[in-house]
Amino acid sequence: MDKRLKEKIEFELKNNRLWRVKELLSSAIKNYDYDEELYLEYAKTLYKLGDYMESGKYFLLTNTKEKEYLEATELFLNRHKDNFFDYLPRKFKNLDPKYYPSNIKKVLNPQELDRIYKKYKVDNSSNESYTSKIDEYIGYTVLAFILLLLFLGLLKLIELVISLFS
């Protein structure tokens, strides 16, 4: 977690604005790569706010061993038994399994970790190819429009030349 974000969080905590800390951390999780310290701070903030289910999800993504936090993790896992990975942040899903924290590794065996990693890598690449196809179609449309304008301009130019010599 970067120094500037830490300073903002400390300021908001001193002013007793946990809701603002939650907003700052939530935004950072969406915009930055996986950072265990960031996820742990977010999990603790959610826990303090009484959102045990959501805090459990983020405690799962850390190496925390504190019993009360692990109970929140169990709550999350019990709620989303077979598909809990679908609920994890996109930035975490892109992380190579060898960098997963111990709490995730306890829940999944190495084969499951590898399978899940490949699944999300495939899903992400298919989204990228879909986006690039849309970009390609937009490019073709713009090109066609420019060519049409050039053609119409050429027709007007020919019309002008004919009118000059008539």
Q: What is the pLDDT of residues 37-52, one digit of tens each?
A: 999 999 999 999 999 9
Q: In this model, does residue 114 exceed pLDDT 60?
A: yes
pLDDT for the residue numbered 125: 46
pLDDT for the residue numbered 122: 46
Cα angle 136, 139, 144; round to 5: 125
What is the overall mean pLDDT for the chain?
86
Cα angle 53, 4, 91; round to 5: 45
pTM above 0.75, yes or no: no
Mean local confidence (pLDDT), 67-95: 88
Q: Which is more confident, 133 or 157?
A: 157
The CA distance from 135 to 112, in Å, is 35
The CA distance from 57 to 75, in Å, is 9
pLDDT for the residue numbered 119: 72
pLDDT for the residue numbered 7: 95
Q: Which fold has domain 3-108?
A: 1.25.40
Helices (H), 16-165: 18-31, 36-48, 52-60, 67-79, 90-93, 102-107, 110-165
Cα angle 85, 89, 92; round to 5: 85
